[in-house]
Every structure is written in C-alpha cells, then in structure tokens.
Amino acid sequence: MRTLFHFPLSPASRTVRLVLAEKRLPFEAIIERAWEHRPEFLAMNPAGDVPVLVEDNGLIVPDSYVICEYLEEAYSDTPLLGRTLAERVEVRRVMAWFDTLFAREVSGRFIDERVMKRLSGRGNPDGTALREAYAAMRPLMKYVNDLAENRNWLAGNFLSLADFTAAGHLSCLDFIGDIDWSKVPAVRDWYARMKSRPCFRPLLADRVSGITPPEYYTNLDF
C-alpha cells in the first residue's frame, strides 16, 4: 500500500496528507521521528526530513514540494495547480512564500521552540525566539488576510495547492494555540472552509503526547 512517512506537527507533512486525501488516494501514515536519524529512513531520504511518500511500486518521493508536483502529474483527475501558466505561477508563488518566508520567520520557529525542543531533548523554549516569531507573525498574517479578503481562495478563484500548503502551516500553529484568529477575520473564514473539507478530518484527530490543542481546534466554525 502507498505509505507516507510523516510527523503530525510538520507543516510539510500536513500539506501532503491533505493533498493525498483531497485526491482520494488511500495511504498508510507512519509517524517518523526524523530527529532520531533512523538509518532506514535516511536511506530513503538522505536529507533526513519528512514527509517521504513511498508508492505501491516502490517509488520513493521525498519533500513536500516534490511530492505535490508528483501527485499533480501522476493523479491529474483532481487538479490543484491551475490550468493556465499564470495560474500555476501564482499557486507556486504562494506555496513558496509559506514554505520559505513564513516557515523561516513564523511556523518553523514556533514549532521548533514549543514542540521539537521538548521532543528531541534540546531544552526549554527560548523566550527571545518566541517574541521574535510573534513580531514577525503580525505583518505576515496581515498579508495572508489580504489574500483571503480579496480572493475566493489564496491563489485565485480555485482551490489549489497553495491553500493546502497554507493550511499545513496554519493548522500546526492552531494546534499549539499561537494564532489570534480575531485579528485576521478573512483568514479565519478561509480556514473554517478548509477545516470543513473531508480531507481535513484526520488532521483534526491528531494528538501529540504532552501537547493539548485548544478546544476550538476541532470546532469547524470556531
């Protein structure tokens, strides 16, 4: 069976889980603690990161961006990249914005400080790093709110990989309670639509030892 090696609070893993489910592609999800540097996992992906997809035929596809592009090519019945060149450029641009700038300044910092440090035995959260993440979050979330306010979906008029990439990052932050949704009402409404999709249900059921998500995490309408 198709297998996905992932971690529940990895934005990249969540993106791929959502895309697989949206395309109705069944898979077995196996939690991989990448910080343990398991030799068998490193043999599949020398970069040592999740997610890694292994197809029925043994094909190994690492990295969320590579996996999403592969799924678009291999399973095109549910297109999520756009039809015109301009649409595809915009979808990829928004994906890259989340996976680079937003991950570096916001989601990656919060997840590392609040989750990964504890799980990997690297000590307590750094207060300075968290304050810097909160400061960086304000203008970046304002930009996301502008996108949600002026478009049907984040990259345009159609649901796309950009929405699933954004949902991967924001759902992790929602799980650890680091988003003030009242300050970004358009993003909140967009996220409520995303949470209501069937593909989102497994993410809402995620649990991580030692971390209790806020009560509204599983509430579809906040």
Distance, CA of 40 to CA of 15 (rounded, Å): 23
pLDDT mean over 79-92: 97
β-pairing, 28-31 with 60-62? unpaired
Expressed in angstroms, the distance from the first to the final Cα of the chain is: 36
pLDDT mean over 52-67: 98
Residues with Cβ within 8 Å of residue 190, at least 6 apart in sequence: 148, 153, 154, 163
Q: List, in order of start, the domains of the chain with CATH numbers.
A: 3-74 (3.40.30.10), 85-204 (1.20.1050.10)
List b or e across 189-198, with b for residues whose CB sees 16 or more CB atoms inside 10 angstroms: ebbebbbebe
pLDDT mean over 73-83: 96
Distance, CA of 65 to CA of 81 (rounded, Å): 12
Please, what is the average pLDDT of the chain? Answer: 97
Distance, CA of 3 to CA of 131 (rounded, Å): 38
Cis peptide before 51 (omega within 30 of 0): yes
**What's the pLDDT score for residue 222?**
74
pLDDT mean over 127-156: 98
pLDDT mean over 134-163: 98
Report the percentage of the chain scoring pLDDT > 90: 98
Helix (H, G, I), strand (E, B) or coil at 154: coil
Q: How confident is the model at residue 125 (pLDDT cuts 50, 70, 90)?
A: very high
Beta strand extents in 59-156 (DSSP E only)? 60-62
DSSP state at residue 35? G
pLDDT mean over 136-145: 98
Residue 138 has pLDDT above 80, yes or no: yes
Helix (H) or strand (E) holding 52: strand 52-54
Q: How confident is the model at residue 221 (pLDDT cuts 50, 70, 90)?
A: confident
